[in-house]
């Protein structure tokens, strides 16, 4: 998949990334409350002290990588899920960031003036998840709300019918199992 690389301000690299050896267990799907361009600007903004993502996907299907997979993006925040490792000792808080790859989608449709999720965005999401799964065969997929209580569920949307994400299709077309 061809993509641009625009570095995010926030990420963790260096010693913690190498020790202990990290294993990618989750792809976390998020949506930006607006355009991909706004999300990219925010991830580069000096005033942003707490968020980033590995990838951002625009409505036209364009994928921008913002954090190398070898580095830790700050997308999951305070998070936990079942018995997945949260690196609480190392991070001083429960977070799935070290064992996950974050994908941000432009949207939801009601926020970006579209009638449903744009097909190019969805197809790129399927393809990117497939590629990640090839690199990390044990990885599973989950939406942000399942790991961070109180967030809007990607699968259910915002209450607008056009915002409901085609989650079952994502699982089928990407080949990545649900966590």
User: Is the pLDDT reported for residue 61 higher than 60?
Assistant: yes
pTM over 0.85: yes
Residue 129 placed within a domain: yes
Q: In which domain, by residue range, is 57 found?
A: 4-10+20-174
Note whether residue 15 is domain-resident.
no
Q: Angle, to 10 degrees, between the axis of helix 119-135 and the axis of helix 167-174? A: 40
Tell me the pLDDT band of 162, cut-offs 50, 70 and 90.
Answer: confident
Checking if the pLDDT of 122 tops 90, the result is yes
Residue 36: inside a domain: yes
Please give the angle made by the CA atoms of 142, 101 and 154, to the nearest 5 degrees: 35
Give me the CATH number covering residue 28. 3.40.80.10
C-alpha to C-alpha distance for 38 and 163, rounded to whole angstroms: 19
Task: Specify the number of domains making up the chain.
Answer: 1
What is the model's pLDDT at position 73? 95
């Amino acid at each position: 998949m061809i993509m641009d690389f625009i570095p995010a301000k926030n990420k963790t690299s260096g010693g913690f990334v190498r020790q202990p050896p990290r294993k990618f267990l989750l792809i976390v799907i998020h949506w930006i409350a607006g355009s991909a361009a706004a999300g990219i600007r925010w991830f580069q903004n000096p005033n942003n002290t707490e968020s980033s993502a590995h990838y951002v996907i625009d409505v036209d299907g364009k994928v921008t990588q913002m954090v190398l997979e070898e580095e830790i993006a700050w997308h999951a925040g305070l998070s936990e899920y079942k018995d997945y490792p949260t690196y609480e000792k190392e991070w001083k808080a429960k977070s799935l960031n070290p064992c996950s790859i974050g994908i941000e989608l432009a949207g939801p449709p009601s926020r970006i003036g579209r009638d449903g999720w744009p097909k190019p965005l969805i197809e790129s999401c399927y393809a990117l998840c497939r590629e990640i799964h090839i690199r990390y065969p044990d990885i599973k997929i989950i939406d942000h709300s399942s790991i961070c209580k109180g967030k809007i569920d990607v699968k259910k949307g915002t209450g607008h019918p056009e915002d409901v994400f085609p989650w079952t299709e994502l699982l089928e077309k990407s080949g990545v199992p649900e966590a």
